[in-house]
Chains A and B, each alone.
Chain A
Amino acid sequence: MKVKATASPYLLWMALFIIIPLGLVAYFSVTDRLGNFSLENYRASLAYSPVIFNSIWLAIIATVICLILAYPLAYNFSRKSANHQRTLILLIMLPMWMNFLLRTYAWMTLLENNGLINRFFGLFGLGPFEMINTSGAVVLGMVYNYLPFMILPLYSVMTKIDHSLIEAAQDLGCNSIQVLKNVIIPLSMPGVTTGVTMVFVPAVSTFVISRMLGGGSNMLIGDLIEMQFLGNAYNPNLGSALSMVLMVIILICMALTNMFEGVEEKEGMLL
């Protein structure tokens, strides 16, 4: 039975609720409030370039920290016994099942000026340190929320690396560092690119983490967009233009990570 028609309701649905809405965003971004064609929204977006660059910068820092934290962890996990792996992965996933608002709220409690961490420092006569409402707190919130998104793809790629490949590399003269450099890192690149995308995309577009941990002073592009649609600044045209900018940023990020993966392959082909 080669039935294709069962896909039609879905295709219709996607056209109506994915394609058309995105088309609307594109349309709103190039019109003014009266519906006339205008590039004013993009010009206005330029004024917010510090916020945009701040978003990109903080998201990059968070992604890099996640990668550095997750890589050795995932490798470690992948070399453990099956039972251990199952438990550890469960432990990593468990916090993900709690709503991220609650997880972020937990850090508010800890970082506040009279929060637990400052109280602890207070015992030694230190502080209070200004931790909440800083860009550091925003990055911390991103790392905390999205670290599992980096660990899981890395782990799943690394468990698929056949142990005999590692033995083969040792057999051909690699010590542990050379095994890492010549076999494990190149073979785990697909996991790295997936992990980077899965952390960078939500990090660069968040508006909750910045609002809860960054206070008013650490606006991100997500906050700007939210304000244009639900805030006092109500301006869906500008909001749409900013959304387009956000999508372009993400496309560039993905193109870059894909290119990185592609270069490895191309180098192999050149010889």
Chain B
Amino acid sequence: MHKNTLISLKNISVEFDGEKILNGINLDINDKEFVTLLGPSGCGKTTTLRIIGGFIDPDQGDVFFDGVRLNGVPPYKRHINTVFQRYALFPHLNVYENIEFGLKINKKLPESERKALVKEMLALVNLKGFELRKVTQLSGGQQQRVAIARALVNHPRVLLLDEPLGALDLKLRKEMQIELKRIQQRLNITFIYVTHDQEEALTMSDRVIVMKDGNILQIGSPTDIYNEPVNAFVADFIGESNILDGIMHEDYLVEFAGKKLECVDFGFAKKEAVDVVIRPEDWKISASEQGQFSAIVDSIIFKGVHWEIIAKHDDLSFMIHTTQKYEVGTSIGMSVVPEDIHIMHKMPPEGDSKQEEEA
């Protein structure tokens, strides 16, 4: 166990109606860390969060908080607070009363201290002057802030956030991402964040935990996960990717799309069938005859900061991001440097990444 470990999940399994939701996951979360559980819906991320919050008891395995076993401890006895998916603000209370709720329940704080704490929180989430508003009259973003303030006012050691930005529009979501990160750094506590949005995960987190079908696929920093995904699923889920079938002939030599190319990966079996992942922005475009591959531009769409090209090479389509415009039908050459060719073991059959991609 890491010396900084605050929460530790050991071999956690959960079943609902005979369906496995979590398959014996192990996870350590450090103190003062911003951790994101990332994965498609049904991957078990929310269940993991609810186990930490105390709303679900695992069928197997143990939860430790600061070294103390937490199984069976009800939510109201944990130093953990939650920002719920749809905020779960109390409709019969106004903004002030919502935030004050936990203080009134927990401690016998005098009114004046409670008031000071609530004011402090209102300032933290930029909601000064909204004390007397009904929560039902607030916009989504404001409700979100109240939910955060209501949880944080109790000074939890851990804040759980269950897809808190899901209901907000794009611009507001970006603002709140920055703000959440600011709040976390300012208060210096642990945030455990659940989302299916990879961009959100990469923007805010110290560490990202990628989950699928009740398993943890990869744990790492956002750059690790982006640059060194462990398999094609993670690669595809984290940003857009070209995923190609390849064969690893020997260390540092891979064949895909009919070409043998140098790469930086090693340690695969001889002639092992592998997934080759290349990020669309890693392709370099050149004149047709100068590239490693030649291809015809099939479509081109302007994406705001770059052009997205789909180019055809034989039967294969490649996605390329470039800052230059090419007419449809143009012949182009494409190249990739060895460092940007990512080789991965094929996923076991039940986790067929191609199907996941279409779903």
Contact = CB atoms under 8 A, between A and B. Distances in A.
**A and B in contact, CB less than 8 Å:** yes
A164 B101 contact: no
A164 B85 contact: yes
Interface string B90-130: 11111011000110011000000000000000000000000
**Which of A164, A173, A264: most chain B Cβ within 10 A?**
A173
B151 interface: yes
A187 B92 CA distance: 7
Classify the secondary structure of A's interface with B: helix
Given A171-B53, A172-B150, A271-B131, A165 B75 contact: no
Interface in A142-179: 162, 164-165, 167-175, 178
B105 A174 contact: yes
Nearest to A270: B132
Given A167-B84, A182-B101, A175 B74 contact: yes
B75 A171 contact: yes
B94 A271 contact: yes
Interface string B309-331: 00000000000000000000000
B65 to A, nearest CB: 15
B106 A164 contact: no
Contact of A169 (B53, B101, B131): B101
B194 to A, nearest CB: 14
A182 B88 contact: no
Interface residues of A, number: 23
B294 interface: no
A268 B81 contact: no
A182 B100 CA distance: 12
Contacts of A186: 92
A62 B148 CA distance: 45
Nearest to B107: A173
A268 B94 contact: yes
A167 to B, nearest CB: 6
Contacts of B151: 171-172
A183 interface: yes
A160 B150 CA distance: 23
Classify the secondary structure of B's interface with A: mixed
B256 interface: no
Given A172-B154, A268-B93, A271-B96, A167 B105 contact: no
A165 B90 contact: yes
A269 interface: yes
Given A268-B92, A268-B97, A173 B105 contact: yes
B48 interface: no
Contacts of A183: 90
Nearest to B156: A171
Contact of A164 (B75, B86, B93): B86
B94 A171 contact: no
B55 interface: yes
Given A164-B85, A165-B88, A173-B154, A271 B74 contact: no
B302 interface: no
B74 A168 contact: no
A271 B134 CA distance: 12
A175 B82 CA distance: 16
Interface in A62-99: none
A172 B85 CA distance: 15
B266 interface: no
B92 A173 contact: no
B76 A173 contact: yes
Given A162-B86, A182-B105, A271-B96, 17 more contacts: A167-B75, A168-B84, A168-B150, A169-B101, A171-B76, A172-B81, A172-B101, A172-B154, A173-B76, A173-B154, A178-B76, A187-B92, A265-B92, A269-B94, A269-B132, A271-B97, A271-B132
Interface of B: 53-55, 74-76, 80-82, 84-86, 88-94, 96-97, 101-102, 105-106, 131-132, 134, 150-151, 154
7 contacts: A162-B88, A164-B84, A165-B88, A167-B75, A172-B150, A178-B76, A271-B131
The 5 closest A-B pairs by CB, nearest first: A172-B102, A164-B88, A168-B88, A170-B75, A173-B105
